[in-house]
Amino acid sequence: MSMKGPFISEIAKDTYAVNEYGLAAMYVVVGTERALLIDTGCGLTDLKAMMAGLTDKPYDVVLTHGHLDHVGGLGWFEKVYINEGDWEMARSLDFEELRNYCDQLGAMGGYEAYDYNRDMVKEFTAFPEFINIEDGFVFDLGGRKLTVTTIAGHTKGGLVLIDDQSRIMFSGDCANTNTLILGTSINTALKGFLKVRALRDQYDRNFNGHIGYAGAPNCFSQPESVPEDLIHLCKLVLRGEDTPTMQMFLGSERAGMNYNHARMVYDREWKLDPGEEMLDLDMI
Ligand SMILES: [Zn+2]
């Protein structure tokens, strides 16, 4: 039996996780004055109606990064916050690609678990205004604040937000159990994971950009060791000590390697950018 959605769970007081048919996760955080929508999913959900059902407060919209499965609902809004490293990617959203992504995850199990189809993707033509946010930017919702840290790696302009009330880190796809390094060199990605590790005493739970991926209904925090596991994998790659298996991903062959709770998918040839100095691995 398949389920109608999207599926909303309260993961902390006034804090909601939205599972959009196993395609992507969004989060809604409500303060005493304002609310915040984190990511916009794949465009299958009436986000204005969803927000109206969760809060009567005015709200802002922030994107953890520019991938199509997180920006698909942009058309509902006039203004969104996103790091400029991902502006171009977000603006190149291709609706046919988005529909194909719905089918890909559907074939992996999503169509059995969830009642959705590719034609539910709502197309739009006018993009919202993009507002750049950098390290240290704060969304003050009244009674709770969410602070931004930019994390390059999965994409150039990825970011995480830490909520001081729930002590949840909303991490997009920056530090997942299955992290795809698509936007930067491994060395730059390592810098990003080190930034995540430096935040460790500020959060208790890490909710990422995918819930119930491809039909596995669940809603849980990422294992605590994931940032550390990814750091370990990056060090192996940079030292030339990685032993990956090769897999096809988005039409090209990529390396994939597991360590503890994390898997990293990456390009073995893209360790450093031209002129980029390698981190001192013995000091990490
Ligand atoms: Zn992504």
Q: Supply 206's token pair.
A: 């890490």
Q: 57 C-alpha to center of ligand 1: Å?
A: 28
Residues, Cβ < 5 Å to ion ligand 1: 67, 173
Assigned fold of 7-233: Metallo-beta-lactamase; Chain A (3.60.15)
Query: What's the one-letter identity of residue 240?
Result: G
Return the biggest CA–CA distance within the chain: 55
Q: For the chain, 284 residues long, give each residue's pLDDT as a single digit of tens.
A: 567 778 999 999 999 999 999 999 999 999 999 999 999 999 999 999 999 999 999 999 999 999 999 999 999 999 999 999 999 999 999 999 999 999 999 998 999 989 999 999 999 999 999 999 999 999 999 999 999 999 999 999 999 999 999 999 999 999 999 999 999 999 999 999 999 999 999 999 999 999 888 877 777 889 999 999 999 999 999 999 999 999 887 678 899 999 999 999 999 999 999 999 999 999 99
Q: 169 C-alpha to center of ligand 1: Å?
A: 16
Q: 33 C-alpha to center of ligand 1: Å?
A: 30
Q: What is the pLDDT of residue 6?
A: 84
Residue 168 Cα distances to 203, 214, 255, angstroms = 5, 24, 31
Q: 117 C-alpha to center of ligand 1: Å?
A: 21
Q: What residue ranges do the domains of the chain occupy?
A: 7-233
pTM for the model: 0.96
